[in-house]
Amino acid sequence: MKKFQPTLASIPSLDKLSIENNTYVERTADLSRRKFIKIASASLAVLSFPGLTTTNTSVINSVPDKTTDKGNNPKIIWVLLRGALDSLHTVVPTFETQYQVLRPNLSTSFKTPVLPLNHSFALHPSLVNLHQWYQEKQLLPVVAVSSGYSRRSHFDGQDFLESGNGKIDYDSGWLARAIDVKNKRALAVARSTPISLRSSENVNTWYPSTLKSADNDIYQSLLALYQDDELLRTNLESALEVKGVIGNQSNKNKQQRGIFAALSKACAKLLTAEKGADCAMLELGGWDTHNNQANRLSKKLTELDTGLAELKAGLGAEWKNTVVIIGTEFGRTAKENGTGGTDHGTGSAMFLAGGALNGGRVLGQWPGLADNQLFEQRDLMPTTNSFSWIANVLVQQWKFSHEELFQVFPHLTAYDEKLLIS
């Protein structure tokens, strides 16, 4: 037997990872013995509980013992896209003549044809797997949505979206309240518990400790800030090259895509373990595209698409019992800016995916892109609320009553739209 010490290269080898007595362990090469070892030491990926003090050699072994009925275990997976996805470059309104007027460069930047959904909308060509799911009725894009957050701060916008109670709240998240109401368990694929899952004791976190953060939004924001100052920009770029942040960008992009795919695969593996959780949260940063948006979004959407495909493959038969909710803190300006990007906006898009869905439709109300149809004459006007769609998922997937839903979202009701097959 040997200790499991995950590295980027080792993560795909999840067939060697199993669970025993609520602790993740590596299966030895000698399968006849059927013995496993517990994960320990600082370099190991471990489960952790908020508020639970651990040492580098601790083995967390206190997951609630709950027998999983795989035949009736509807799962919810929440994927948060940090940085504000540009929905108009992702779910493209092909029928809108104003789209080309507002975005003369971005609208012609697609290297291959967009992927048609219906007579009005198409997906970015990088979303090949999501497009296939749409055709298989396993995807529901929702256009022109917003959490209700009215300002333009990434951090506050993400907190608002994660808390789900109509204000910035660091102590309680909507998914945490949901699992407490239904006595379910959650897994956060993160270094620490995200706000979405804070306030519940039924949350585990997991992340391979040898992986660096995939989020380079801070550096990209600084580059955008310094774009008009040649000296500052040159110095920053030189420093980042030394740091390896933008040097050899091709290899870096491949590595980042590999990280999210590996984490998604690991998430699926942990969810489908014998005593796996009922839901999970994944995060993917890098969506703050103030400049060079065409190239950057093409890579990010490929990363997202590939990772979600790994998630589906890893879930296997559980995919039919699963709903994946994919959202972002806010949208971006309808008009492209002078550096090939877009700035912070309001209305965006969200996706619902999974084998449990009655998909193959584009949901939401389209507000139009004429000047008098835009929010503050600059942003896509939100016409539906992200939380009411999420509430709808809770009602249909986890059978929330009106009274139970009030404990999660006290300020709203669920939309009356049939989202699931049954």
Q: Give tens-digit pLDDT for 1-48.
A: 333 232 223 332 333 333 333 333 333 333 233 332 233 332 233 333
Integer Cα distance of 109 and 341 in angstroms: 11
- Per-residue model confidence as pLDDT tens digits over 140-156: 999 999 999 989 999 89
DSSP letter string, 174-229: HHHHHHHHTT--EEEESSS--GGGTT-SSEEEE--TTSPP---HHHHHHHHHTTT-
Integer Cα distance of 209 and 11 in angstroms: 11
Residue 217 has a pLDDT of: 56
Going by C-beta distance under 8 Å and a sequence separation of 6 or more, which residues neighbour residue 398? Answer: 74, 76, 178, 182, 184
Residue 213 has a pLDDT of: 52
Q: Which residues face 8 on adjacent strands?
A: none
Low-confidence ranges of the chain (pLDDT < 50): 1-70, 214, 242, 244-247
Q: Residue 333, SS3? A: strand
- Residue 224's Cβ-side half-sphere holds a number of Cα atoms within 13 Å equal to 20
Residue 221 has a pLDDT of: 63
